[in-house]
Amino acid sequence: MLYGYAGHTLRIDLSTGAVEKEPLKQEWVDEFIGGRGFTAKILYDETPPGVDPLGPDNRFVIAMGPLSGLFLPAAGKTHFAAKSPATGGYGDSNMGGHFGVTMKYAGYDVTILTGQAKDPSYIFIDNDTVEIRPASHLWGKGSTEVEEILKTDLGQEFQILTIGEAGERMVNFACISHDFGRQAGRTGIGAVLGSKNIKAIAVRGTQDIPVFDPKGLLKKGKATYAACREKPGFTGWTPEGTAGITNWCNDVGALPTRNFATSHCDYADKINGKAILDELKITDKGCFSCPIPCGKYGLAKTGKGNKYVEGPEYETLALVGSNCELSDIHGVAHVNWVCDELGLDTCSAGAVVAFALECYEKGLISKQDMGMDVKWGDLDSIVFLLEKIAKREGIGDVLADGVQKAAEKIGGGSSKFAIHVKGLEWTGYESRNAPGMMLGYMTADVGAHHSRCWVLGSDVANAVGGSQDANVHDLISQGADFETIPKADHKNVVPLVLKSQHLRPAFDILGTCRLQYMEIGLETHYYEELYYHATGKKLDFNKDLLHLSEKIWHLNRMFNRREIPDFGRKYDYPPPRFYEEPIPSGPNKGHKVEFAVIEEMLDAYYAARGWDENGIPTKDTLEKFNLAVE
């Protein structure tokens, strides 16, 4: 008996309509455990080399972990993966809510979509009944409207994921939406679903998941909830959620502002967590079984009407707010709603709009080509651009491919301020004086994404307090001066980056949210014990799980090497703005990262990983991790 798993893989060939339910491969369970482990293994093994990301042969994989769907804190994460249209390499994104949990109750740990439906369709899953149904009536509709229609038609107990118009038109930063405000936003995963002509997936699941020790799991699950409630972060972090970090980021000069031209603004108080609580919030909203609901569901009121929206999260506040100079919380929330309805990742959307605004300001895009006299901080301009992008109209068709490809078309030196790595737009942490954070962004397998590594606190503590182990929150409470921040030392950041890069996949593998560990300090022994009661197997978090995380890093690097023709070191460089332009204002004024430092950090990082000087895993490294790939 395979405890902790539903026990099946669902394969759907959308070209032929063939549906197969097969036993979950023991090899996957033994070697890769679940979630992100499964997606890395499946994409490498099953994606035909050189496949077109938006062609029928790309795989779209949905995977849960062994803890997903069980009654323990925040066990509701779903992992999606495909070869990314944004980067051409390994792409994934993960989402909370209730979708993956329900897929597991329907009997499936893994779902693999191949092929391409002939006409707009949605996938209907009701336990063993799996059908590809027509969806012409849903095509062109917004995400929440589709959820409402399908829930009304099928039943409220169905969990729905959907793409918006951006996914239908294969915008490179199209997301997947679910649960009226949760998204799998990054790497263009929604475009892959759109390329397959799939508008939505609706699932109902009513089956049990066998667990090794139900009584022990229930007892430990309850104890884990109790442990969460006792953490200071339970009452300290939850009220504002991720938005609570906005002022801190501004204070330490890490808040992307005006297309990352600078890292500090004078209106952070207007777009922070408190502003959300004071102006927008109606209720907290959480994912399946979460004790610390970070979602803030509220009402955005602007001249464009009143819109119910979940968010904005910190990343949206940073990328849509300060990065586009939008200083009104209702305006940011409205843009959040527009992105959700159109099915656009708010991180990349904010970065792309800011890039477009700078191109316009510099005269690289004419008013005629732009279609409007767009301005920084102007809600009308931002919404105008997002709608053009989602419909791929005019300049929107150029921007819809993301900043890297757009800069290649626009020219005029715009590549210097196209803020991305590997084609994926940089997220909410300006890092010119945060060398560890910068290295994390540079080396992430999916491109510039903070979810792969977050060491900003250590970077700042290192700069102002002299110790990379110092807790920056302690330094603030001790009265540390952030008016000017000294140059951070880039030496010895590699161990911190590796530690963070290995910790984060651990939760994606198990199928839980990481924020209980990261934000409120839930100890790792809880995960070991829950895993034991669920599966009957011992798991040493630091030894076994982090080893698997490391293995996934090597495997995904090899996927990128195989799929991107000239892949290597140059794909790890940050955008020129960060090493050519000193920060013009704020506490990090005058700082930039020297190119020699970038090279030095990469040398040290590659050596520590067991990769050659071009950033490719050596034969010895692959053998050490039992990876038979080339």
Residues lying near ligand SF4 in the complex (CB under 6 A) are found at: 74, 96, 286-287, 290, 292-295, 513, 515
In angstroms, what is the minimal distance from the CB of 35 to ligand SF4?
A: 14
Shorter beta-carbon distance to ligand SF4: residue 404 or 516: 516
Q: Is 447 left (phi over 0), alpha (psi -120 to 50) or beta?
A: left
In angstroms, what is the minimal distance from the CB of 285 to ligand SF4?
A: 7
In angstroms, what is the minimal distance from the CB of 467 to ligand SF4?
A: 29
Question: Both tokens of residue 16?
Answer: 């032929």
Q: How far apart are CA 607 and CA 468, in angstroms?
A: 21
In angstroms, what is the minimal distance from the CB of 511 to ligand SF4?
A: 11
Cβ neighbors of 435 (< 8 A, separation 6 or more) are: 459, 488, 489, 490, 493, 593, 597, 601
Say whether the peptide bond before residue 312 is cis (omega within 30 degrees of 0).
yes
In angstroms, what is the minimal distance from the CB of 504 to ligand SF4?
A: 13
Q: How far apart are CA 344 and CA 386, in angstroms?
A: 8
Shorter beta-carbon distance to ligand SF4: residue 244 or 574: 244
User: In terms of DSSP bridges, do strands 159-162 and 110-114 run parallel, antiparallel, or are they unpaired?
Assistant: unpaired
Q: Residue 376 in contact with residue 258, Cβ under 8 Å?
A: yes
List the one residue out of 321, 346, 315, 316 whose CA is nearest residue 257. 321
Q: Residue 383 in contact with residue 396, Cβ under 8 Å?
A: no
Cα 437 to chain centroid, rounded? 16
Shorter beta-carbon distance to ligand SF4: residue 74 or 252: 74
List the one residue out of 565, 593, 591 whose CA is nearest residue 579. 593
Question: Both tokens of residue 292?
Answer: 């610390």
Cβ neighbors of 31 (< 8 A, separation 6 or more) are: 37, 41, 626
Shorter beta-carbon distance to ligand SF4: residue 76 or 586: 76
In angstroms, what is the minimal distance from the CB of 185 to ligand SF4?
A: 12
Cβ neighbors of 420 (< 8 A, separation 6 or more) are: 351, 402, 403, 404, 426, 447, 448, 575
Shorter beta-carbon distance to ligand SF4: residue 74 or 166: 74
In angstroms, what is the minimal distance from the CB of 450 to ligand SF4?
A: 14
In angstroms, what is the minimal distance from the CB of 515 to ligand SF4?
A: 4
Shorter beta-carbon distance to ligand SF4: residue 290 or 365: 290
In angstroms, what is the minimal distance from the CB of 101 to ligand SF4?
A: 11
List the one residue out of 533, 628, 430 whose CA is nearest residue 213. 533
List the one residue out of 349, 435, 427, 426 whose CA is nearest residue 384. 349
Strand partners, 420: 425
Residue 235's Cβ-count burial label (10 Å; 0-12, 13-18, 19+) is exposed
Shorter beta-carbon distance to ligand SF4: residue 95 or 125: 95
Q: Is residue 23 within a helix (H) or strand (E), and if so which, with residue range?
A: strand 18-23
Q: Residue 204 in contact with residue 158, Cβ under 8 Å?
A: yes
In angstroms, what is the minimal distance from the CB of 178 to ligand SF4?
A: 12
Which amino acid does the sequence have at 558?
M
In angstroms, what is the minimal distance from the CB of 444 to ligand SF4?
A: 20
Shorter beta-carbon distance to ligand SF4: residue 295 or 436: 295
Residue 63, SS3 per DSSP: strand
Shorter beta-carbon distance to ligand SF4: residue 85 or 298: 298
Shorter beta-carbon distance to ligand SF4: residue 291 or 396: 291
Shorter beta-carbon distance to ligand SF4: residue 249 or 294: 294
Question: Both tokens of residue 624?
Answer: 């050490």
